[in-house]
Amino acid sequence: MGQTLTYKILQKHLVEGELKAGSEIAIKIDQTLTQDATGTMAFLQFESMNIPKVNAELSVSYVDHNMLQDGFENADDHKYLQSAAAKYGVYFSRAGNGICHQVHLERFGLPGKTLLGSDSHTCTGGGIGMIAIGAGGLDVALAMAGRPFYLTCPKVLNVKLSGKLQGWVSAKDVILTLLQKLTTKGNVGWIVEYSGDGVKTLSVPERATITNMGAELGVTTSVFPSDEVTLKFLKAQARDKGWVSLAADDSAVYDKVIEMDLSKIIPMVAKPHSPDNVVCVKDIAGLKVDQVMIGSCTNSSYRDLRIVGGLLKGRRINKDVSVGLAPGSRQVLEMISSDGTLADVIASGARVLESACGFCIGLGQAPRTNAVSVRTNNRNFEGRSGTKSAGIYLVSPETAAVCAIKGEFIDPREAGLSYPKVDEPKSFYIDDGMIIPPADGGKAEIYRGPNIGEPPRLHALPNDLAGEILLKVGDKITTDHIMPAGSRLKYRSNIPKYAEFVFEGIDPAFSKRALETKKKGRAVFIAAGASYGQGSSREHAAICPAFLGVAAVMAKSFERIHAANLVNFGIIPLIFANEADYETINVGGEIKISGVKKAIESGSDVIIETGGKKITLKYNLSDRQRKIIIAGGALV
């Protein structure tokens, strides 16, 4: 039986376990990526391991998230990261150089390699044929230390592409169509592998748009073959030395196959407030638009911005629409500035924003009350734009540019405009001057501003737990709900301060109540519905609750990265054996778990006593993870 591409790469990197879907395996990580919002904690954790230098083939520390310097905090964090990179042998991509995933694809990503990044959209690297996985900062710190990464050996879903995209339809519409089909729920434990004749019609940046939003599907990652198109891209980035040809065997057997004819795909949109709330653009034609934001790690490549520039050229943006455009990297910015695209964008009245995450994470460009905000990024969770009442509509660059011109939704194919022709460049503009290479910095001093705290101290699991349920939430709770980003991001390096905002948007008094409960020596419990912890890799959504005394989350199901983060910080992710028991759980209810430690040690179910009855909870933990829970976390 032939092998899938996924298993070929995993096999080469396997250090523990067996390639059997569902069992825990450990793989060697070749490259790591951190960004500033998750990176400060990751580097603090790395420091506490007392290792003189990183042990991965390549580690890059990016500054792209916390770019708004409305106080000393972010600048202090950036300086800390720069000094830590110098000391530990890490490449440092300076503020202004671009969004980690875009820059990594351009300058570092290589087919066949493994990449672990402290950002959920690390999976973007699958566009260049990597097994690229998002994880919590601690897991990435361990990979920097040369330790393997543990994951559940995935099932492989083959998306077989045929045909070719038609004018006005692009890669974003492909992944939105897949999200409509597969939704954001129930895909944990899968890897999506693309194949078929349609693959060769997509450039590497287009493939990367598709793999990027695999994070929204909730899959472990997605991967494209490495072919002539990959070679062409690497040549244009002057990095073709690292190219290898990679594909699944013809006889490979997949766990599931979906066929997609690219020529049948039409312009799509994900309506508020979930990336799987997908309809055809023509279904909402006529809806007035207040804001258009173009950029993010999903859609800010040279190709994407050339399309937008080509449409805005010689036109003025609609008078009722505020338009912003953030190039994904300095490479993209340099190229659109030298070929005249930038001048066309500026002349149209669009606002040019810096090469960073910015609007995507609610740092700036919050729209007006009740706004219809059309964006090319990947997440449209409620409040993510910074305006709770606004709705985010996720679209392709083509649809976004047409909305900017027309002031309302219209199927771009019917807007009466001509489709700009954009060819992949033969060579990209290359200047790595904003990436500081690792020097022999062993003696370099680490800079620590007053914003830099210590990783929290955690405690071993006691024999019994007693406390109360302080919060009950529904399905699809995202890490944005648990640990808000936006203007709160700057407290990332200061756990006690950031913890004040846990569940801020759902229950602003939660943090205070939790701390009071903890002070009384009682444990805090949370009850949740399905897909708890969707979205980002933000380990703060586990660290801060752990700091507040949360001992366990009882949910119908968990998302991959968040479940791993909970374990790393000693919170038990418990799953209702009988989903109907969720209904009987009440906020304020007392909970007792006698012999919790024994149960976890022996791998048996956990029985909680609440409201005079007993409820059985299961968990999906490997032996290794059960040991971590008993120790109280991975860093104790």
The contact set with ligand SF4 (CB under 6 A) reads 65, 99, 119, 121, 296-297, 357, 360-361, 377-378
Considering the complex, state which of residue 65 and residue 472 has its C-beta at the smaller distance from ligand MIC: 65
User: Cis peptide before 562, with omega less than 30 degrees from 0?
Assistant: no
Distance CA 635, CA 127 (A): 33
Taking CA atoms, 345 is separated from 109, 233, 243, 365, 403, in Å, by: 30, 26, 35, 18, 15
User: Which option in ligand MIC, ligand SF4, none does residue 537 bind, with CB closer than 5 to 8 A by kind?
Assistant: ligand MIC
User: Which option in ligand SF4, ligand MIC, none does residue 296 bind, with CB closer than 5 to 8 A by kind?
Assistant: ligand SF4
Considering the complex, state which of residue 40 and residue 625 has its C-beta at the smaller distance from ligand SF4: 40
Helix (H) / strand (E) containing 460:
none
Q: State the DSSP code for 196.
A: S
Smallest distance from ligand MIC to CB 65, Å: 6
Residue 115 tokens read as 């990449």
Q: What are phi and psi of 35, to 5 degrees?
A: -120, 165
Distance CA 562, CA 314 (A): 47
Considering the complex, state which of residue 377 and residue 557 has its C-beta at the smaller distance from ligand MIC: 377
Considering the complex, state which of residue 318 and residue 376 has its C-beta at the smaller distance from ligand SF4: 376
User: Which option in ligand MIC, ligand SF4, none does residue 90 bind, with CB closer than 5 to 8 A by kind?
Assistant: none
Distance CA 530, CA 386 (A): 25
Smallest distance from ligand MIC to CB 367, Å: 18
Strand partners, 410: none
Residue 579 tokens read as 């989903």
Q: Does the CA dihedral 485-491-493-495 come out positive or negative? A: negative
Smallest distance from ligand MIC to CB 134, Å: 6
Smallest distance from ligand SF4 to CB 482, Å: 16
Which of 379, 413, 522, 562 is labelled catalytic?
Answer: 379
Q: State the DSSP code for 385.
A: T
Smallest distance from ligand MIC to CB 120, Å: 4
Which of 13, 65, 330, 562 is labelled catalytic?
Answer: 65
Report the SS3 class of residue 27.
strand
Q: 321: phi > 0 → left, psi -120 to 50 → alpha, else beta; which? A: beta
Strand partners, 528: 555
Which of 30, 64, 77, 581 is labelled catalytic?
Answer: 64
Smallest distance from ligand MIC to CB 574, Å: 24
* Residue 30 among the catalytic residues: no
Identify whether the C-beta of residue 206 lies closer than 8 Å to the C-beta of residue 170.
yes
Angle between helices 228-236 and 204-212 (to 10 degrees): 100
Shortest-Cβ-distance residue relative to ligand MIC: 536
Distance CA 32, CA 57 (A): 8
User: Which option in ligand MIC, ligand SF4, none does residue 99 bind, with CB closer than 5 to 8 A by kind?
Assistant: ligand SF4
Angle between helices 341-348 and 302-312 (to 10 degrees): 50
Smallest distance from ligand MIC to CB 483, Å: 8
Which of 94, 121, 481, 538 is labelled catalytic?
Answer: 538
Q: 296: phi > 0 → left, psi -120 to 50 → alpha, else beta; which? A: left
User: Which option in ligand SF4, ligand MIC, none does residue 377 bind, with CB closer than 5 to 8 A by kind?
Assistant: ligand SF4
Smallest distance from ligand MIC to CB 513, Å: 24
User: Which option in ligand MIC, ligand SF4, none does residue 538 bind, with CB closer than 5 to 8 A by kind?
Assistant: ligand MIC
Which of 118, 536, 537, 557 is labelled catalytic?
Answer: 536
Considering the complex, state which of residue 37 and residue 260 has its C-beta at the smaller distance from ligand MIC: 37
Q: Could you tell me which of 514, 293, 275, 520 has the C-alpha nearest to residue 404?
A: 293
User: Cis peptide before 273, with omega less than 30 degrees from 0?
Assistant: yes
Residues 6+ apart with CB under 8 A from 50: none
SS in 3 state form for 95-107? CCCECHHHHHHHH
User: Which option in ligand MIC, ligand SF4, none does residue 626 bind, with CB closer than 5 to 8 A by kind?
Assistant: none
* Residue 263 among the catalytic residues: no
Smallest distance from ligand MIC to CB 478, Å: 8
Considering the complex, state which of residue 360 and residue 571 has its C-beta at the smaller distance from ligand SF4: 360
Q: Could you tell me which of 479, 443, 459, 452 has the C-alpha nearest to residue 558?
A: 479
CA-CA-CA-CA torsion for 97, 101, 106, 111, nearest 10 degrees? Answer: 150
Considering the complex, state which of residue 539 and residue 581 has its C-beta at the smaller distance from ligand SF4: 539
Per CB under 6 A, residues contacting ligand MIC are 37-38, 65, 119-121, 134, 361, 485, 535-538
* Residue 273 among the catalytic residues: no
Considering the complex, state which of residue 163 and residue 272 has its C-beta at the smaller distance from ligand MIC: 272
Considering the complex, state which of residue 135 and residue 248 has its C-beta at the smaller distance from ligand MIC: 135
Residues 6+ apart with CB under 8 A from 337: none
User: Which option in ligand SF4, ligand MIC, none does residue 312 bind, with CB closer than 5 to 8 A by kind?
Assistant: none
Q: Which residue has the tokens 């846990």?
A: 502
Q: Does the CA dihedral 178-126-563-548 come out positive or negative? A: negative
Residue 191 tokens read as 């890897």
User: Which option in ligand MIC, ligand SF4, none does residue 37 bind, with CB closer than 5 to 8 A by kind?
Assistant: ligand MIC
User: Which option in ligand SF4, ligand MIC, none does residue 610 bind, with CB closer than 5 to 8 A by kind?
Assistant: none
Considering the complex, state which of residue 130 and residue 360 has its C-beta at the smaller distance from ligand SF4: 360
* Residue 65 among the catalytic residues: yes
Residue 301 tokens read as 């490549």
**Residues labelled catalytic:** 64-65, 119, 379, 536, 538
